[in-house]
Amino acid sequence: MSKEIKRIAILTSGGDAPGMNAAIRAVVRTATHEDLHTYGIESGYKGMIEGNLTRLESKDVANTILRGGTILKTARCEEFKTPEGRQKAYESLLAFDIDAVIAIGGNGTYTGAYYFTREYDIPFIGLPGTIDNDIYGTDFTIGYDTAINTAVEAIDKIRDTASSHNRLFFVEVMGRSSGFIALETGIASGAAATFLPETNWGVDELMVLLKKAAIRKKLFNIVVVAEGNKSGTATELAKHVKDNFPEFDSRVATIGHLQRGGSPSAYDRVLASRLGYEAVIALQNGIYNKALGLVSGKVHFVDFLDAINKKKELDTEKIKMLDVLAM
Ligand code: F6P
């Protein structure tokens, strides 16, 4: 049964991602347009437990579409994983007369939303905000496009010094246990090899590749390694090469949290704006307790449980292509 929604609370949780502010802005502006009130919850579920809510008006989100990070701040909250924590959060929402919550984040955010909505009758809509792009039910997550552009830009710079010194660079990119960032970054940066958690590529394959490169006297190479790669971290792979193939002068660069910051790309701004807008419209139409995304450019809803448990797969054609283009 749908209820009348008058006050919406919004939060960002988990790792920040460029474009989160554009989504917050879209929610606030759409809600204002629909004569609804928006409340910003500071620091994700932690702020919900502590009752840290503030009214957000249209002017409060001016000049935010271009800003990285999140104006609402974010946190990973252990207490929300407990029934007692969620009870406190519920009481805070009641104190502010909140009718619905829009939660922007990744898997942990959706897990919190799932448990909360099983226990309490305040509807949630989840928006996918993570650089990792590892959320089922949406082709792209907010922040992913910016993160891969940042990684590619960084590798382009590494390439200059790598080629000048004829060095082999192992570049580690983020992505937790999935290889979306590494796959696109590997393709776009013209990497000689790309190590993904989803493939069986190991040191043996790397050795074969390097032998071929050595015969061609190609000592300068870029190898992209996903942080979740199972056959070794960038540092471990580099050590293996040093021990077994000393003619390669190896170095390691970890791009790290650089990938999380910066002004969102135009793609992320548009994606975040669309999702923020659609989240408010969905709540008005009585669509509750769903994760919202875009599939083939169209608005798509999935249950929180599916978004949490189903695995989004990498494009196998792109993985095949990586092998063809390597070295
Ligand atoms: O989920 C986003 C992400 O940046 C992952 O790619 C990475 O594994 C993790 O967060 C890092 O988390 P933290 O910022 O807590 O170190």
Q: What is the Å distance from ligand 1's center to 194 Cα?
A: 20
Under 8 Å CB-to-CB from 67, ≥6 apart: which residues?
A: 21, 263
User: What is the predicted pLDDT for the residue at 154?
Assistant: 98
Asked whether 130 lines ligand 1 (CB < 6 A), one says yes
Gap between the Cα atoms of 240 and 147, Å rounded: 28
From the list 128, 127, 131, 154, the residue with the least C-alpha distance to 144 is 131
- Structure token pair of residue 36: 């609804």
Catalytic residue status for 323:
no
Q: Which residue's CA is the nearest one to ligand 1's atom 12?
A: 15
From the list 73, 84, 99, the residue with the least C-alpha distance to 6 is 99
Among 74, 133, 174, the mutation site with the greatest number of ligand 1 atoms within 8 A of its Cβ is 174
3-state secondary structure (DSSP) of residue 171: strand
**Closest atom, ligand 1, to C-alpha of 260:** 4
Asked whether 148 lines ligand 1 (CB < 6 A), one says no
pLDDT tens, position by position, 267-287: 999 999 999 999 999 999 999
Residue tagged active-site, from 132, 134, 145, 268: 132
Give 90-103 as a DSSP string.
HHHHHHTT--EEEE
pTM as predicted: 0.97
290 and 169 Cβ atoms separated by less than 8 Å: no
Give 24-91 as a DSSP string.
HHHHHHHHHHTT-EEEEETTHHHHHHHT-EEEE-GGGGTT-TT--S-TT-----SGGGSHHHHHHHHH
Q: What is the Å distance from ligand 1's center to 226 Cα?
A: 12
Asked whether 105 lines ligand 1 (CB < 6 A), one says no
228 and 176 Cβ atoms separated by less than 8 Å: yes
Gap between the Cα atoms of 21 and 56, Å rounded: 13
Gap between the Cα atoms of 143 and 149, Å rounded: 10
Q: What is the Å distance from ligand 1's center to 261 Cα?
A: 12
102 and 10 Cβ atoms separated by less than 8 Å: yes
Gap between the Cα atoms of 127 and 142, Å rounded: 8
Give 8-39 as a DSSP string.
EEEEE-SS--TTHHHHHHHHHHHHHHTT-EEE
Amino acid letter for position 47: G
Asked whether 109 lines ligand 1 (CB < 6 A), one says no
Domain boundaries defined on the chain = 7-143+264-309, 145-260
Q: Which residues of 119-148 are buried (b: 16+ CB within 10 A; e: fewer)?
A: ebebbbbbbbbbbbbbbbbbbbbbbbbbbb
Asked whether 143 lines ligand 1 (CB < 6 A), one says no
Mean pLDDT, residues 56-74 taken together: 98
Q: Which residue's CA is the nearest one to ligand 1's atom 10?
A: 15
Gap between the Cα atoms of 65 and 311, Å rounded: 30
Q: What is the Å distance from ligand 1's center to 91 Cα?
A: 30
pLDDT tens, position by position, 173-206: 999 999 999 999 999 999 999 999 999 889 999 9
Domain 145-260 is found in CATH 3.90.550.10: no
Q: Which residues of 281-319 are buried (b: 16+ CB within 10 A; e: fewer)?
A: ebbbeebbbbbbbbeeeebbbbebeebbeeebebeeeeb
Gap between the Cα atoms of 257 and 173, Å rounded: 9
Amino acid letter for position 277: Y
User: What is the predicted pLDDT for the residue at 35?
Assistant: 98
User: What is the predicted pLDDT for the residue at 165?
Assistant: 97
Same fold, 7-143+264-309 and 145-260: yes
- Choose the CATH number for 7-143+264-309 among 1.10.10.60, 3.30.43.10, 3.40.190.10, 3.40.50.450: 3.40.50.450
Asked whether 113 lines ligand 1 (CB < 6 A), one says no
**pLDDT band (50, 70, 90) for residue 77:** very high
pLDDT tens, position by position, 240-251: 999 999 999 999
The values of phi and psi at residue 157, to 5°, are: -75, -40
**pLDDT band (50, 70, 90) for residue 1:** low
